[in-house]
Amino acid sequence: MTTPVERTSVSVPVRAPVRTILRKIGGYRLWVLAAAALGFVTLISGIGLIAMAAYLLSRSLVVASTTTAALTILGVRVFAVTRVVSRYCERYVGHLGTFRILTRIRVWTFRGLLPISPAGVQHRRAGDLLAAIIDDVDTLQDLYLRVLVPPVAAIATVGVTTVVFGRFDPVLGIVLLGFLVLCGLVIPALTRTATRLPTRSLVALRADNRANAIEFVNGLADLVALGQTDRLQQEFNANETRQSVAEKSLATMRGIALALGSITVGCTAISLLGIAIPLARSGSLDPLYLAIVPLAAIAAFEAVVPMTVLFEHLDRTSAAAARLLALTTSEPSVTEPPKPTERSLIAADLESPGTGATIVFKDVSATYAGMAQPALHRASLTIPAGGTTAIVGESGAGKSTILNIILRFIDYESGSVTIGGHELRSIHSDDVRSLIACVQQRDHLFDTTVRDNLLLADGNATDAELLAACAAAGFDRVIDALPLGLDERVGENGNRLSGGERQRLMIARALLADTPILVLDEATEHLDRELAVQVMSGIRDWRKDRTTVLIVHDGAELGGIDRVIELPVPKSS
């Protein structure tokens, strides 16, 4: 008997969700540095363009010929061309880097979902998962363009501009630096206190609205039948009102921050001009530079103005990152073995004439996450290799739990489970699922053709093999009635098929997988008795002497069952 599983909780670093995700995805630093460098060149070129243009205008007033200003004219052209080219390159690299980083985040998100699926996501609404995969990931695109790159480019630009102004006069450099810090750091920090809460609530409200909308669409027919559409509409309106309040609050604070920034820019120009005029009168500053000082300073604010909404984007991406971490860092449904048994060895044993695909449960107990009572308590049973075994029992007896354990969708706390003589925990979950085909009560059909849905089980199957599997499952007559046959679309989750047709298509898909073990969980519940008997006969003929397990409420009417295992309703330990 194996020892009980020790479960360790996964702590999500809520204080630094953005940093955690960046550390997990990696490969972003070069993109940030490249975009920031191009942004710095663009900003410096803009400042240089304004400064050279101002100097050219001032100099044209005191020289009679444009020949003496040729070098200045060349400088204006160089800065203008450089600004255009660097701006294009910055946008190109910035968006390319964003797409690359978003790709990494999406891949990381799906990889994080795989170990906890399906048990770890069953308690979540489909809309919540969709919001995390789409909305939260898309929100993180602001992380690169509006959170990471602007501060780097701004710091470099402010540093160079302050040094240049300080060369004219230290007071000019100090005053400019003070106003730039005020606009780029102090004002955003002050407004953040008012935007943090609505920013984070807005992310949650948008996700909740999407989840509600999906649930509304999926249950629209039932809501109409029950006359509850008005009630749900009221809930939608209430959520939309809360979202509008949050968006209005953010827009107000954003407008205030931008207004304060504009006031700061004007005050900076006036202050610097007030300092520069006495310097020009005293001869410490060339009068030709008087126009450069305020105009170049105004141009320098292009580097810090994006900082006024930096914290809003940071809080928004932080909230989205926290939601993704809460989803993807959940405890895995099963613990993978550090040194799994090789699949080839297991496959050979399952096909051997000895123990073959025998499945043995010995004193197995299992509890679903969040449940107080065990779904399976000290269960012992043996499913012999070959033939057809039916597992029957009342609802809640643990029939589906046995299937979830065999497929390694959930782990068992104590006891032992062996397949072909191999302890289940010693086999990697991917290898287990490659050796067992199953038809569950909630299996999914994709909104594509019958052929494509069948080829999921065997991508190399020929049309003849597809039709043979369909005939074994009693789906051949359905194909004959379809206008396009195998090329007919089945609709979203097979909604263009009846319940019985849908079940038979999934059975045909499972037969095509041609695995040593086949498990059918209530696979014939939508079929009438005569058709169910025909389908079971076709399954037995297809499977021959390979192990087939039926999970049913009552298998007596199906016939052809070699052994019946009846499960009692579990009692708490």
Least confident of 363-372, 406-415, 483-492: 363-372
Judged against a pLDDT cut of 80, whether residue 369 lies above it is answered with no
What is the model's pLDDT at position 50?
Answer: 94
What is the model's pLDDT at position 211?
Answer: 76
Bridge partners, 364 (sequence order): 379
pLDDT digits (tens, 9 = 90+) for 551-564: 887 655 566 788 88
Least confident of 306-310, 343-347, 353-357, 543-547: 353-357
Does this model's pTM top 0.75?
no
Pick the more confident residue, 116 or 377. 377
Q: Which CATH number fits domain 26-328: 1.20.1560.10, 3.40.50.2300, 1.10.2020.10, 1.10.3720.10?
A: 1.20.1560.10
pLDDT digits (tens, 9 = 90+) for 296-346: 999 999 999 888 888 888 888 888 888 888 877 777 778 888 888 887 877
pLDDT digits (tens, 9 = 90+) for 424-445: 888 888 888 888 898 887 788 8
pLDDT digits (tens, 9 = 90+) for 493-502: 888 888 888 8
Quote the tokens at residue 41: 């060149």
Residue 348 CA to residue 355 CA, distance in Å, equals 11
Q: Which string of DSSP letters, residue by residue, matches 227-270?
A: T-HHHHHHHHHHHHHHHHHHHHHHHHHHHHHHHHHHHHHHHHHH
pLDDT digits (tens, 9 = 90+) for 458-472: 889 999 999 999 999
Quote the tokens at residue 66: 């444009």
Give me the chain's average pLDDT, please.
84
Quote the tokens at residue 357: 């695909």
Residue 269 CA to residue 263 CA, distance in Å, equals 10
Residue 297 CA to residue 266 CA, distance in Å, equals 10
What is the model's pLDDT at position 12?
Answer: 42
Judged against a pLDDT cut of 60, whether residue 14 lies above it is answered with no
Across 53-67, 163-177, 428-442, which has the greatest mean pLDDT?
Answer: 163-177
| Domain 343-567: homologous superfamily in CATH | P-loop containing nucleotide triphosphate hydrolases (3.40.50.300)
Would you kindly state where each structural domain of the chain is located, as residue ranges? 26-328, 343-567
Quote the tokens at residue 7: 């479960």
pLDDT digits (tens, 9 = 90+) for 138-154: 888 888 888 889 999 99
Three-state secondary structure call for residue 321: helix
What is the model's pLDDT at position 191?
Answer: 86
Residue 442 CA to residue 464 CA, distance in Å, equals 28
Least confident of 5-9, 105-109, 197-201, 206-210: 5-9
* pLDDT classification of 17: cutoffs 50, 70, 90: confident
Degrees (nearest 5) of the Cα angle 94, 98, 101?
135
Quote the tokens at residue 155: 């710091």
Three-state secondary structure call for residue 17: helix
